[in-house]
Structure 1
Amino acid sequence: MRIITSDQFKVNYYYLMKRVVLLLWCLPFFCGAQKYHLPKGEKYQKIRFELVNNLMIIPIEVNGTELSFIFDSGVSKPILFNLSNQDSIQLKNVTEISLRGLGTGEPVKALSSKGNTFKIGDGWNNRQMLYVILDKELNFSPNLGIPVHGIIGYDLFRDFIVDIDYASRVIRFYDPELYSYKKRKNSETLPLAVRSKKSYIEGTVTYEDRDHVPVRLLLDTGSSDAIWLLEDEAKGLEIPDKHYEDFLGRGLSGEVYGKRTKINNIQIGHFVLNDAKAAFPHLGAFDLVSNLDDRNGSLGGELLKRFNIVFDYPNGKITLKKNRYFNTPFQYNMSGLDLQHNGLRYIAEKITNGQGVLLEKEKSFGDVQILFENTTRLSLVPEIIVSGIRAGSPADEAGLQEGDVILAVNGRSIYKYKLQEVMKMLNEKEGKRIQVLIERYNTSLKFSFVLKDIFK
């Protein structure tokens, strides 16, 4: 999306990120009073979202252009990125700034823009501030498999009571003055602390010989991971003996690595989640984060999606109700492969019947098909490549390499599937044999390996 500012400053595209644990802590930045409104007399706006890699993707109109945003409770102001030159979006009152966040790199350059109009359903804010990331390397879309243009969080949580139904993939933004609490079976309402535009909840974790260690956790719907814990020997938070080094994601200021592990359980209120997936990020990744607010870690989408949640920032409360995902086993990358989209490729298939037509699916990375009757069908489809391999993993030992193009998994051509479905094929269950057909330097190669539980 081509951006044209009111000062005629033009910004061309930005492409973001290597993998998808989405963790952005930005500098607080104020620009006067701004607030979201609902049409007079309406109690709420209902918005449907896509759930991709444990992240909520919602549609928002920015200055008349519809964009897709990750709904991220860990971010203060909206951030735009991944903009192409197909359309134009007018931004107002632009200045250049730097943003700091997670990672071991330097602050990133960005634009700050004031006075923008954001619409979510029939709700609106005519004085929304936003940032635009200028780093071409920051791009969530290849890792999620769908176009994503930005992230948004605190301003919506501040102005509404936010009811998230992960099971039905619906969010309701309620006017706080018109919202009335109802008794919800098997639910619990707990205190919610809101500081520095972020929300926190209390809980306990149990692992190895540590029993019910109290923790204060950031609620981060913009992280696709389950639980992060910050190593602190004085508080009883030490790295378990059973762990492995893993790439946890990329923050605003660079890559984040840490120790991947499993804990016996985590308890929030009366809810207990057993055999929970956890990670201890290297503490150097937080060097540029100005205020950790005494947090001991964070809860991300893989854990939060197990509840339907009512966030009530205005009154400092949160209501949790377990849903159909509650007892779903936590997902581990047993193959050791990370994948991402890498542009488009043509494939040719023999057909017996057909019409000479051109088909295109909207909001995808390609899927253009040209059919020639009784001959061959040429399709332009997304190309999926290996973006990373964990050292010592089954895929690494089998000989797969970063940059390999994935063609098929267990005999199934992967162009027919979404990126997250392909990842699921590669990590279905312990002991399963996986056969992968890849292309490397214009040569097709086949590899085979067995998935294994690294903690056994």
Structure 2
Amino acid sequence: MLTIYKPVVIICLRKLLICFGLILAFFGTNAQEFTFPGRRQLQSINFKCIKNLVIIPLMVNGKGPYNFVLDTGVGPMIITDPSIIDSLDFSMLRKIKISGLGIETIDAFVSQNITAQIGRAKINNIPTAILKEDLFNLSGHLGLKVYGLIGHNFFNSFIVDIRYSENRLIFSDPSRRVKYRGSKIPIEIDNLKPYVYADFEIPDSGKVRAKFLMDTGASHALSMEMLNGKAFPVPSIKIPANLGMSLSGQIKGYVGRIRKFSVGDFVFNDVVAGFPDFESIATKIDLKVRNGNLGAELLRKFDIQLNYQENFMYLKPNSNYKIPFEHDMTGMVIYLDHVQYKRVLIGEIDEDSPAEKAGLCQYDEIFGVNFKPVEFYTLNDLTQLFKSKSDKTIILEIFRDNKVFYKVVHLERRI
């Protein structure tokens, strides 16, 4: 089962789950790998970190580079904008139906006739799922044009060093001797994705060990989905929230905090986590193989070396390690218009949130923030501003119905 999860549990970006279980049956069992040319064994490239997601340049069929999300949570490569493939004839491709968390069944197309290249490393005939369009406006939520996601084929080909502290990606041939840094943590590769065991504390149950999908393509810290075959216990202090956006509506749930969460010897306190409605997700994702999802808001606190071949990773704390976990303090989602990627629009607004109290409405356009034009800010800037400090006042210049309004939002730490 291939899982795409575009997160919004903690930050603005909505995480969507799409189950591509049927895709693997069409791709067969032949292994495809990235390889370096000649004697090269190592390369380093820079990446963009936007809303905790790693965005890398990728060549497709010799053209590009195009922005792709480097996502441990996906198997076959996924292209969300088919315009990058010349002379693509959908009638010649095998069509499958895909479904998932909160979405209606939609069409996708599968291909093994695509070449991809990251740096000097290249792969021919990479298994690929192609969507006819970016149904979920991933580009709008990230603030730059994104053409797809790539995961397992890249991670399975190299020892991959994600240096969040430097926005640098280093990948080397598995045969090359690597100097590991930090603490060694075992991982399991199941159905093309990595899992890690972690311990946490919940009221009335004490310390619990559970299995988490380690997902660099999820910008939240944690999603707690199931415990002992049932809904995960929700903390007493919580706020209702829309945890996902879909073709058929929102995925409901709560946001709260896990008092203590540890991976290996690394312990985190008061971790912000999403608690999706169990009945909504139990029929959409295979909870038999996992209890939850460990995302990049937590992973970015480390520089991470992943070795899929030998089933381990090394974690080394970086400059993000001691930054406390905070939830968005406005209670709203913002995104860029999917046509021009310039207009900043307001999406969902949580009930009884600071945004609702300030009189903001869905589809309002933000012209300015604190008397500066909105162009002065990136989406990353606004994301950080909106969770910066409780009781802080932010003044938004809003365009609605051909009129300009000024709205005062008082940030509130609600959990």
TM-score > 0.5, shorter chain as reference? yes
**8 Å contact kept, 2:329–2:390:** yes
Tell me which amino acid in the other structure corresponds to 2:316: K
Question: Deviation digits for residues 358-414 of structure 1, max 9, x if unmatched?
Answer: xxxxxxx57xxxxxxxxxxxxxxx111111111100110121100111111221211
**8 Å contact kept, 2:82–2:133:** no
Return the alpha-carbon distance in structure 1 between the equivalents of residues 338 and 98 of structure 2. 29
Tell me which amino acid in the other structure corresponds to 1:318: M
The structure whose RCO (Cα within 8 Å, separation 6+) is larger is 2
Return the alpha-carbon distance in structure 1 between the equivalents of residues 313 and 20 of structure 2. 23
The CA deviation at 1:292 is 3.3
Tell me which amino acid in the other structure corresponds to 2:262: Q
**8 Å contact kept, 2:7–2:219:** no
Q: Does residue 383 of structure 2 align to residue 423 of structure 1? A: yes
Aligned to 2:304: 309
Q: Does residue 145 of structure 2 align to residue 147 of structure 1? A: yes
Tell me which amino acid in the other structure corresponds to 2:121: G
Aligned to 1:89: 86
Match of 1:203 among 198, 202, 214: 198
The CA deviation at 1:253 is 8.4
How is 1:9-408 mapped onto 2 (pairs within 5 angstroms)?
Answer: 20-24=13-17, 25-27=19-21, 28-29=23-24, 30-31=27-28, 32-66=30-64, 67-83=66-82, 89-90=86-87, 94-101=93-100, 103-134=101-132, 137-182=135-180, 184=181, 187-232=182-227, 237-250=232-245, 255-287=250-282, 289=284, 291-342=286-337, 382-408=342-368
Instruction: Indicate the SS of the match to 1:430.
Output: coil
Q: CA 1:227 to 1:438, structure 2 compared with 1: closer, same or farther past 3 Å?
A: same
**8 Å contact kept, 2:354–2:410:** yes
Instruction: Indicate the SS of the match to 1:22.
Output: coil
Rg larger for: 1
Return the alpha-carbon distance in structure 2 between the equivalents of residues 176 and 21 of structure 1. 35
Return the alpha-carbon distance in structure 1 between the equivalents of residues 57 and 247 of structure 2. 23
**8 Å contact kept, 2:49–2:55:** yes
Aligned to 2:3: none
**8 Å contact kept, 1:20–1:250:** no
**8 Å contact kept, 1:337–1:390:** yes
Tell me which amino acid in the other structure corresponds to 2:302: F
**8 Å contact kept, 1:338–1:387:** yes
Q: CA 1:290 to 1:279, structure 2 compared with 1: closer, same or farther past 3 Å?
A: closer
TM-score normalised by structure 1 residue count = 0.82
The CA deviation at 1:91 is 5.0
The CA deviation at 1:155 is 0.8
**8 Å contact kept, 1:143–1:340:** yes
Tell me which amino acid in the other structure corresponds to 1:138: F
The CA deviation at 1:50 is 0.3
Return the alpha-carbon distance in structure 1 between the equivalents of residues 248 and 129 of structure 2. 15
**8 Å contact kept, 2:54–2:70:** yes
The CA deviation at 1:233 is 5.8
Tell me which amino acid in the other structure corresponds to 1:71: L
Return the alpha-carbon distance in structure 2 between the equivalents of residues 288 and 192 of structure 1. 26
Question: Deviation digits for residues 196-229 of structure 1, max 9, x if unmatched?
Answer: 1111111111243442211111101111111011
Return the alpha-carbon distance in structure 2 between the equivalents of residues 37 and 260 of structure 1. 42
How many residues end up aligned between the 2 structures? 399
Return the alpha-carbon distance in structure 1 between the equivalents of residues 150 and 114 of structure 2. 14
- Cα RMSD of the aligned pairs, angstroms, is 2.4
Question: Deviation digits for residues 18-48 of structure 1, max 9, x if unmatched?
Answer: 9624344422512433221112322222121
The CA deviation at 1:280 is 1.0
Q: CA 1:17 to 1:170, structure 2 compared with 1: closer, same or farther past 3 Å?
A: closer
Q: What runs of 5+ residues in structure 2 fail to find an aligned partner?
A: 1-5
Q: CA 1:438 to 1:171, structure 2 compared with 1: closer, same or farther past 3 Å?
A: same
Q: CA 1:429 to 1:34, structure 2 compared with 1: closer, same or farther past 3 Å?
A: same
Return the alpha-carbon distance in structure 2 between the equivalents of residues 251 and 318 of structure 1. 33
Return the alpha-carbon distance in structure 1 between the equivalents of residues 329 and 207 of structure 2. 28
Return the alpha-carbon distance in structure 2 between the equivalents of residues 236 and 255 of structure 1. 18
Moved more, 240-249 or 91-100: 91-100
TM-score normalised by structure 2 residue count = 0.89
The CA deviation at 1:110 is 0.8
The CA deviation at 1:293 is 4.2
Return the alpha-carbon distance in structure 1 between the equivalents of residues 196 and 7 of structure 2. 28
**8 Å contact kept, 1:82–1:141:** no
The CA deviation at 1:125 is 0.7
Instruction: Indicate the SS of the match to 1:47.
Output: strand
Question: Deviation digits for residues 284-324 of structure 1, max 9, x if unmatched?
Answer: 44345463343110111101100111111100111111110
Return the alpha-carbon distance in structure 2 between the equivalents of residues 129 and 172 of structure 1. 23
**8 Å contact kept, 1:229–1:296:** yes
Instruction: Indicate the SS of the match to 1:324.
Output: coil
Tell me which amino acid in the other structure corresponds to 1:198: K
The CA deviation at 1:332 is 1.1
